[in-house]
Structure 1
Amino acid sequence: MPENLNKNLINKYDLTIGSFYFYNNFMVSEVKKGVTFSVENSSELFKLIEKHFNKNTPFFYIANRKNSYSFNPTGHYEFIELFPNAKAFAVIAYDQLSIRIAKFEQSFIKAPTGIFDNLEDAIIWGKEKIRSH
Structure 2
Amino acid sequence: MKFEKTPYFEKLKPYKLELPFGNYFFCKNLVVGELFEGVHFDWIMAKILLQEIYKFYGENAKICYIANRINAYSIDPQNWLRIEKEYDILLASAIVVYNNASYINASLEKHFTKKSIKRCLSLNEAMDWVENLREFN
Aligned to 1:112: 116
Deviation at 1:112, TM superposition (A): 1.0
Q: CA RMSD in A?
A: 1.6
Deviation at 1:62, TM superposition (A): 0.5
Quickly say closer, same or farther: Cα 1:61–1:30, change in 2 above 3 A.
same
More helix by share: 2
Name the CA distance, whole Å, in 1 between partners of 2:61 and 2:83: 15
Query: Which stretches of structure 1, 4 residues or longer, exceed 6 Å deviation after superposition?
Result: none
1:125 matched to 2:133:
no
Gap regions ≥5 residues in structure 1: none
Name the CA distance, whole Å, in 1 between partners of 2:8 and 2:108: 32
Aligned to 1:45: 49
1:72 matched to 2:76:
yes
- Residue by residue over 1:50-83, the C-alpha shift from the partner in whole angstroms, topping out at 9 and shown as x without a partner, is 0222232221000000111111101111111233
Deviation at 1:8, TM superposition (A): 1.3
Aligned to 1:88: 92
Deviation at 1:3, TM superposition (A): 2.7
AA of the residue aligned to 1:83: Y
Gap regions ≥5 residues in structure 2: none
Which of 30, 33, 37 lines up with 1:26 in the alignment? 30
1:59 matched to 2:60:
no
Contact 1:8 1:23 in 2 (8 A): yes
Quickly say closer, same or farther: Cα 1:85–1:127, change in 2 above 3 A.
farther
Contact 2:46 2:79 in 1 (8 A): no
TM-score by length of 1: 0.90
Deviation at 1:48, TM superposition (A): 1.3
Contact 1:55 1:84 in 2 (8 A): no
AA of the residue aligned to 2:31: M
